[in-house]
A and B are shown apart, each in its own frame.
Chain A
């Protein structure tokens, strides 16, 4: 069995089997948050893990995706589902515009530029109150899919619906990312990650490929933002906040930036941690930093690849 198929099977199995162990509906909520975060982090895996670029402003795209779901149905008359796709297209467009000049340069320029972009989006969402209703947030219309399911006889709670729906989107997102990994584009991305000069020598258009990775990952973040907005039926500018961007990168690096399954693991750990440690809310940031440092010192590839190597090493 290939790694790709194994990864997809494991993810699908987690989505389907976990509910049998859920003592209450609340766990569906935590589960769906994990899947939404994992989707965004899968985008980071493509950008950082495959192409070796760092973005510190991906929450900005999540903000665009989320607010698209709130605003497009009201102002453009779009169905919320279509609004999510509209948001994804918009995020991709913005990423393209910002990435095109920046990604011609080498080094840390993308990190800085994306940092600025993320903060800019958060500021626009908070300050342009005539459109976004400001820092207090705005309601998001219902997706209507759960009602449609109910009409054909499948009657489940809202939290359960969003658990399975987010799970489905996450698995599809993982499937696309894994396909990309083995495609010519994916190989070229990994080649330029290894050495940009070598990649250029063998005829890879480095700037264009980096841009492609950036745009794809922006679309992932945007869809994650849309999913979050649609299931919360409410969104505030916090979703585009700087800490949220950092959280995404942390999840990717913690789980293993090059691995889709690692993305899930990172998202799962950092989403459940605050729920388990409710008493330590005040120290959450400190704990996050500590975990990050330990992983960087002892498991530089991230949790999953490091553990996998250790297990394999023992088998030999």
Chain B
């Protein structure tokens, strides 16, 4: 009786995965849960792009089916869904891992099954050291730190205060920034932190303000924390340049912080945010414009940087499958590794066996908030 129940339940699992297509691509994304504001635009982007691709005739004349699971931001679930994708749905490649934790849990599965995996998470550990089957599209935290430090140096700033969220993003970025600060010639002389849901950061900012010699403040964090920091920063009249991370590069941040408080804040962002401001000969301009227009038409809202990551992952994958002329996972992997000059929303991607990210600092644009909107600094 109990055995039967268990078996029936297991059998029911199988029914969920019928239907066949020519090329099957898998994705496990955090559409719900704490990382939903990252995962939601990612999933929407993938669905939109697959639909568009199939309407245009698919890849090499074959239709594409997207098998999309929502892992709710739980790394353990992400791993289970990744197993399901490779073992049961028999996909030829996986896109996903919205958070670093989810990505790191998926990696052993992809490596074990020898299926190419393009991650949408930030941490540098994902591609350093390089893993044969693992690629990623977002900038690393380390690059964001380097870009910010570069801009600081250009303004003659060398001594800074840091305030970081204790969530995964904030903790990882803080670590990377502290690591590269000495070689960038930056001295971090104040180091404060806050919980991701804290509603007031005045004490930490007061500490930084009172530390003699601080020339600028860097806030590593995403979600609502940076908005609170920005508001408190203005209330305290700190009066020093404030840098935010790429994690808040969205219109939502300006709205939440209030355009008055956010005025003059600088942060590294992708071309996606400033599509209109790009030079006409910029290779990313048409890609960004097309993506923004399509997303806007489909969902009635502006896409975020995070949706852009998914856009690039899917673009890299379709490009690789087209060039490989085959849907064999190993040939797709080899083709991804030879991606050259592919313009995405995040950067112009050129992969090599030593570089599974494919672009450098130049892909980042230093942005400044002026009059409630973005302007390009460089």
Q: A residues within 8 Å of B by Cβ?
A: 10, 13-14, 17-18, 21-27, 29-31, 33, 126-127, 129, 134-137, 139, 158-159, 228, 232-234, 236, 238-239, 261, 264-265, 268-269, 272, 274-276, 278, 281-282, 284, 304, 311
Quick check: B76 and A127 within 8 Å, CB to CB?
A: no
Contact of B69 among A136, A264, A278 (CB under 8 A): A278
| Residues of A contacting B166 in the complex (Cβ-Cβ under 8 angstroms) | 126-127, 134-135
The answer on a CB contact under 8 Å between A26 and B3 is no
Contact (Cβ within 8 A) A282 B32:
yes
Cβ A236 vs Cβ B101 within 8 A? yes
Q: Which residue of chain B is the closest to A239 with respect to CB atoms?
A: B76
18 A-B residue pairings within 8 Å (CB atoms): A18-B10, A26-B86, A26-B87, A26-B88, A29-B80, A30-B13, A33-B76, A127-B166, A135-B101, A135-B168, A137-B100, A139-B104, A238-B101, A268-B6, A275-B80, A275-B84, A278-B16, A284-B72
A136 and B70 contact, CB distance less than 8 A: no
Identify A26's interface contact among B74, B84, B108, CB under 8 A.
Answer: B84
Cβ < 8 Å to A, chain B residues 112-135 = 112, 123, 125
Determine the chain B residues whose CB is within 8 A of the CB of A232 once the complex forms.
Answer: 75-76, 79, 105, 108
Contacts of A10 in B (CB 8 A): 2-3
A137 and B106 CA atoms in complex are apart in Å by: 13
Given that A17-B3, A33-B80 are contacting pairs, would A272 and B171 also be in contact in the complex, using a CB cutoff of 8 Å? no
Q: Does B215 contact A (CB under 8 A)?
A: no
Q: Which residues of B contact A272 (CB under 8 A)?
A: 9-10, 12-13
Name B residues whose Cβ lies closer than 8 Å to a Cβ of A: 1-3, 5-7, 9-14, 16, 31-32, 69-70, 72, 74-77, 79-81, 83-84, 86-88, 99-101, 104-105, 107-108, 112, 123, 125, 166-168, 171-172, 175
- A21-B3 contact, Cβ under 8 Å, with A158-B112, A281-B32: no
Tell me the complex Cα distance, A21–B74, Å: 28
Contact between chains at A269 and B105 (CB < 8 Å): no
* B3 interface neighbour in A13, A22, A135, A236, Cβ under 8 Å: A13
Complex Cα gap A281–B105 (Å)? 19
For A278, the chain B residues whose CB sits under 8 A away are: 16, 69-70, 81
B104, A136: Cβ atoms closer than 8 Å? yes
Contacts of A311 in B (CB 8 A): 1
Chain A residues contacting B104 (CB-CB under 8 Å) are 136-137, 139, 234, 236
A158 / chain B contacts, CB cutoff of 8 Å? 112
CA distance A26 to B91 in the complex (A): 13
A18 to B77, CA, bound (A): 22
The minimal Cβ–Cβ distance linking A116 to chain B, given in whole angstroms, is 17
Please indicate the chain A residues that have their CB under 8 angstroms from the CB of B77 in the complex.
274
Starting from the known contacts A13-B3, A265-B2, 9 additional A-B residue pairs (CB-CB under 8 Å) come to A29-B80, A29-B87, A30-B10, A30-B80, A136-B99, A136-B171, A234-B107, A269-B9, A311-B1
